[in-house]
């Protein structure tokens, strides 16, 4: 297990060394946060096991406490166990400080409406990866019977009683799907969501809620057209439950692309392989090699130590099970030193190429135009002082630093700590020369 987590402000990497070693993958940030929010609907004490020890989870814990829930955190062999007791939810006004720190706090609206019929949260503004409106969240909650007022920068949602409805999303938004599920679980009657998001972070939320007594069905048509059915269950029938958190597919993909960039041969334990076929396909097309041991749940990834990989020609980010936008920057970093040209079309977010500028400072040849980036692989990158502007882009800079010659220093790593429990410790387990500074 990685063991060098600390609170440094930057990460220093001595690059140009292939990776060798093994590491256990942390649990999923994007699965943990909505399940923590779901605990607001359950009066007893639920324990979420092996959650990631990251700042976003700490913010969500604070928000649940502000609402009146009890939150106990204890160390686990990997990450932390979080016990949440929502016996008495007394406050539906969430403090701006924590809401603004974490955009996904918006899903607490659905949980609070379902639990106490009212919620006040801040309006999440634009974001460094592009505009992130919440119109689908709000219109879905209104369909369930909530009244919504925008008061300055605050959103006030209120419902005497939530009632099941048919909600047809124009786009399968992950957060909006989760928000509606959380509100509909205790609504009166049946809610049908059409074009719901099919990401694992949605299905695992349903699995948790069903384990707690909810009645959510994912019919065959869920997998083809995102049809999801929630039969409302009275709050009194929801019971506390323990739940093992799922591994993080994005952290796994990050270390897969790190091996592509640096070369070498690594093993990853606790891997959600069934969620990663789109990544597997790209890596093998680039010339990397992957094997999965079904019994040990271990993934072996290797790439030539000398000689460059070849770029695939085109990739477009897509909703699950397509190639995830959350791995687009990591692919860009690996592609920056592969042979040939890769065109990336970013189809989910409007402005997710902030990392290109930092990679160019390291010698990469990348042009961006709107939601398209063209990466012309160069023979080598050079270590530089670079800045993490956001979570996944920051992790991608670590990948570039591993491949570059000389020293790379990444500043503003608080972004990276939002989602990676200990990226430095993990990469050290994989043989990297890397430290917090
Ligand atoms: C979640 C993930 C994020 C991931 C993203 C896409 C969490 C905490 N975050 O974010 O890491 O990159 O899914 O897989 O789980 N949209 C609207 N109106 C809305 C909601 C969304 O127009 O009301 C648009 C967004 O601007 C974006 C697209 O839909 O262009 C996808 O967003 P969405 O799936 O909602 O992403 P998040 O839930 O915010």
- Weakest mean pLDDT among 137-146, 299-308, 331-340, 376-385: 299-308
pLDDT tens-digit readout, 280-308: 999 999 999 999 999 888 999 999 987 78
Closest to 413 measured CA to CA, from 33, 1, 12, 3:
12
Indicate whether residue 136 lines ligand 1 (CB < 6 A): yes
Confidence bin at 5 (pLDDT 50/70/90):
low
Domain boundaries, the chain: 10-25+247-436, 29-242
In ligand 1, which atom is closest to the CA atom of 199? 14
- At 24, the pLDDT band (50, 70, 90 cuts) reads very high
pLDDT over 50 at 2, yes or no: no
The answer, yes or no, to whether residue 125 has pLDDT greater than 60, is no
Confidence band, pLDDT 50/70/90 cuts, at residue 129: low
Report whether residue 133 contacts ligand 1, using a CB cutoff of 6 Å: yes
pLDDT at site 54 = 95
Sheet strands (E) in 10-94? 10-14, 19-24, 45-51, 70-75, 80-85
**CB of 140 shorter than 6 A to ligand 1:** no
Please tell me which residue in 4, 66, 127, 206 is annotated as part of the active site. 127
Q: Are 87 and 64 in contact (CB under 8 A)?
A: no
Report the predicted TM-score, pTM, of the whole model to 2 decimal places.
0.96
Res 103: pLDDT: 81
Same topology for domains 10-25+247-436 and 29-242, yes or no?
yes
Instruction: Give the per-residue pLDDT at 1.
Output: 40
CB of 173 within 6 A of ligand 1: the answer is: yes
Is 66 known to be catalytic?
no
Query: Could you give the C-alpha distances from 47 to 42, 83, 258, in angstroms and in order?
Result: 11, 4, 33
Which has more pLDDT, 3 or 97?
97
Q: Whose CA is nearest to atom 7 of ligand 1?
A: 30
**Residue from 132, 133, 323, 326 to probe ligand 1 pocket by mutation (most atoms less than 8 Å from CB):** 132
- Cβ–ligand 1 contact at 327 (below 6 Å): no
Q: Is the CB of 309 under 6 A from ligand 1?
A: no
Task: Quickly list H helices, 212-276.
Answer: 220-225, 249-262
Cβ neighbours of 242 (radius 10 Å): 12
Ligand 1 atom nearest 33 alpha carbon: 8
Q: How far is the CA of 363 from the centre of ligand 1 (A)?
A: 31
How much is the average pLDDT of 131-138?
87
Instruction: For residue 167, report the distance from its CA to the centre of ligand 1, in Å.
Output: 17
Residue with tokens 């609170």: 7
Ligand 1 atom with the smallest distance to the CA of 30 is 15
Q: Distance, CA 153 to ligand 1 centroid (Å)? A: 20
- Give residue 130's pLDDT: 62
- Looking at 3.65.10.10, 1.10.10.60, 3.40.50.300, 3.40.640.10, the CATH number of the domain 10-25+247-436 comes to 3.65.10.10
Q: Which of 38, 169, 199, 348, when mutated, tests ligand 1's pocket best, judged by the most ligand atoms within 8 Å of its CB? A: 348
Give helix 391-403 / helix 354-361 axis angle, nearest 10°. Answer: 20
Q: How far is the CA of 175 from the centre of ligand 1 (A)?
A: 6
Q: Which atom of ligand 1 is nearest to the CA of 391?
A: 11
Give the tens place of pLDDT for each residue, 238-265. Answer: 999 999 999 999 999 999 999 999 999 9
Q: Using one digit for the tens of pLDDT, what is the confidence trace for 334-360?
A: 999 999 999 999 999 987 899 999 999
Contacts of 279 (CB under 8 A, 6+ apart): 253, 256, 323, 324, 327
Q: Is the CB of 30 under 6 A from ligand 1?
A: yes
CATH of domain 29-242: 3.65.10.10
Instruction: Report the chain's mean pLDDT, rounded to a whole number.
Output: 94
Taking the centre of ligand 1 as the mean of its atom positions, its distance from the CA of residue 172, in whole angstroms, is 9
Select from 121, 175, 253, 326 the residue to mutate for testing ligand 1; criterion: most ligand atoms less than 8 Å from CB.
175
The Å distance, Cα 430 to ligand 1 centre, comes to: 32
Residue 6 has pLDDT above 70, yes or no: no
């Amino acid at each position: 297990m990685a063991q060098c987590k600390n609170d440094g402000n930057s990460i220093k990497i001595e690059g140009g060394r292939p990776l060798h070693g093994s590491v256990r993958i942390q649990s999923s940030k994007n699965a943990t946060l909505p399940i923590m929010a779901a605990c607001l609907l359950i009066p007893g004490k639920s324990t979420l096991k092996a959650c990631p020890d990251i700042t976003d989870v700490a913010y969500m814990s604070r928000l649940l406490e502000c609402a009146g829930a009890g939150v106990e955190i204890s160390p686990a062999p990997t990450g932390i166990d979080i016990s949440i007791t929502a016996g008495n939810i007394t406050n539906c006004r969430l403090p701006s400080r924590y809401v603004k720190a974490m955009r996904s706090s918006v899903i607490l609206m659905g949980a609070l409406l379902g639990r106490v019929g009212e919620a006040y949260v801040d309006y999440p503004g634009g974001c460094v990866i592009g505009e992130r409106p919440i119109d689908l969240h709000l219109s879905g909650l209104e369909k369930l019977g909530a009244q919504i007022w925008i008061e300055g920068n605050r959103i006030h949602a209120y419902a005497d009683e939530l009632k099941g409805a048919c909600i047809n999303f124009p786009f399968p938004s992950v957060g909006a799907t989760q928000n509606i599920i959380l509100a509909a679980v205790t609504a009166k009657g049946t809610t049908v969501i059409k074009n719901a998001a099919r990401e694992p972070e949605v299905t695992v939320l349903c699995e948790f809620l069903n384990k707690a007594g909810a009645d959510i069905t994912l019919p065959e048509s869920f997998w083809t057209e995102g049809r999801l059915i929630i039969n409302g269950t009275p709050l009194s029938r929801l019971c506390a439950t323990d739940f093992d958190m799922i591994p993080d597919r994005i952290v796994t993909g990050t270390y897969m692309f790190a091996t592509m960039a640096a070369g070498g041969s690594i093993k990853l334990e606790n891997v959600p392989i069934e969620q990663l076929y789109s990544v597997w396909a790209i890596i093998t097309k680039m010339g990397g090699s992957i094997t999965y041991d079904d019994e040990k749940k271990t993934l072996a990834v290797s790439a030539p130590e000398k000689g460059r990989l070849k770029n695939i020609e085109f990739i477009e980010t897509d909703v699950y099970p397509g190639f995830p936008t959350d791995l687009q920057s990591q692919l860009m970093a690996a592609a920056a030193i592969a042979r040939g040209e890769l065109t990336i079309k970013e189809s989910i977010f409007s402005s997710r190429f902030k990392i290109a500028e930092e990679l160019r400072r390291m010698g990469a040849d990348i042009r961006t135009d709107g939601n398209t980036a063209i990466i012309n692989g160069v023979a080598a990158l050079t270590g530089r002082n670079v800045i993490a502007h956001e979570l996944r882009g920051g992790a991608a800079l670590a990948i570039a630093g591993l491949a570059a010659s000389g020293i790379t220093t990444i500043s503003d790593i608080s972004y990276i700590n939002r989602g990676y429990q200990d990226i430095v410790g993990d990469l050290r387990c994989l043989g990297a020369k890397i430290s917090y500074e």
